[in-house]
Amino acid sequence: MGLVHRKKPDNSLPAAGPPREEISHSESATRRRRDFFFFFLLLLLTSAAARRSASRRPDGAARAGSTRPALALEKAPVSREAAAQRSRSPLLIRGVAQRGAVPEEMQRLGDFRLPPFFNYPPYFTLQPVRETREKQVQLWKDLILDYCRSQKLYIISLEEDFPLFSNPKIERSLSHEAKEVFLAALVNEGRAEWMDKGHKKCLILWLRIQDWANYILNFVKDNGLEDSVMTVEEIRSGIETHGTELAGIDRGVLMRALKLLEQKGKAAIFKGTSADDEGVKFSA
């Protein structure tokens, strides 16, 4: 009788995946990574939306929670008027930055139009650099002559308020030293004269005495007044001189000009019973 071979039972375990504990740990890590990815994506989307919202704000406000101001506020825009004002300024005082136009500029003094430099504080302080001061002095000389001529002013007192020497809009005034420097420059050019040794009053000659004499002579010729007699007061306030430079002329300046004409044989001055009766006869 033959032998029957029986198959032995296989007691070995079948191949399987990792233990259940390991499976649970791996799934948890995967979920954490997925959650972190979605959270990061949501954060990016939220930040982008906030930036778009801030950029659409008309007032250029900064994003909420940001310490950096919006770009529109980082650099204040310069208006066209401010840029034009800078370009018109004939002198840039060294070490002083001109930051746009003055909020409230003083454009006129009565009916007299003021130059642009009158609204810049550095021009009211004597400049230490020689070249800069020369330009500053020239500007003030021209301004004083133009203003006095337009207003028919002849005497400036350094101890009294003179409207041209201060600008209340920028809270600046010329010092006594600056006034004397500017007027002394006019004196040196024959456009002004000190009326006292203490330099407290200054006679402004927006026309020199010789120029006044020539002006009077031309006025006489243009109006056919040769060989005619006029009183000094008629020259100063008469109908013939109305609307001319002679209207309201300082009496002292007029007499000096007439005496100069008399020395040249172009006029003869007659004394009257009073100063108002003084007359002059012009010759061809």
Can you tell me the mean pLDDT for 162-188? Answer: 96
- Candidate from 16-30, 57-71, 100-114, 216-230 with smallest mean pLDDT: 57-71
| Mean pLDDT across the chain | 76
Q: Give the tens place of pLDDT for each residue, 46-102.
A: 555 555 544 444 444 433 343 333 333 333 344 454 444 444 444 444 444 344 444
Give the integer Cα–Cα distance in Å for 180 and 184: 6
Q: Can you give the pLDDT at residue 31? A: 56
- Candidate from 69-73, 208-212, 260-264 with smallest mean pLDDT: 69-73
Same fold for the pair 103-204 and 209-282: yes
pLDDT category at 41 given cuts 50, 70, 90 is: low
Six-digit token string for 101: 């136009």
Q: Can you give the pLDDT at residue 35? A: 52
Q: Can you give the pLDDT at residue 203? A: 98
Can you tell me the mean pLDDT for 188-212? Answer: 96
Q: Can you give the pLDDT at residue 104? A: 65
pLDDT greater at residue 156 or residue 6 = 156
Cβ contact 32:25 at 8 Å = no
pLDDT category at 231 given cuts 50, 70, 90 is: very high
CATH class of the domain whose range is 103-204: mainly alpha
- Top mean pLDDT of 21-25, 82-86, 177-181 is at 177-181
Q: Is the model's pLDDT at 241 over the cut of 80?
A: yes
Q: For the whole model, what pTM was predicted?
A: 0.63
- Candidate from 92-101, 154-163, 239-248 with smallest mean pLDDT: 92-101
Fold of 209-282: Arc Repressor Mutant, subunit A (1.10.10)
**pLDDT over 70, % of the chain:** 62
Q: Can you give the pLDDT at residue 25? A: 52
Maximum pairwise Cα distance, the chain: 187
Can you tell me the mean pLDDT for 202-228? Answer: 94
**CA-atom Rg of the chain in angstroms:** 45
Spans of all domains in the chain = 103-204, 209-282
Six-digit token string for 269: 């001055």
Q: Can you give the pLDDT at residue 76? A: 38
pLDDT greater at residue 126 or residue 55 = 126
Q: Can you give the pLDDT at residue 201? A: 97
The closest of 97, 129, 102 to 116, measured between CA atoms, is 102
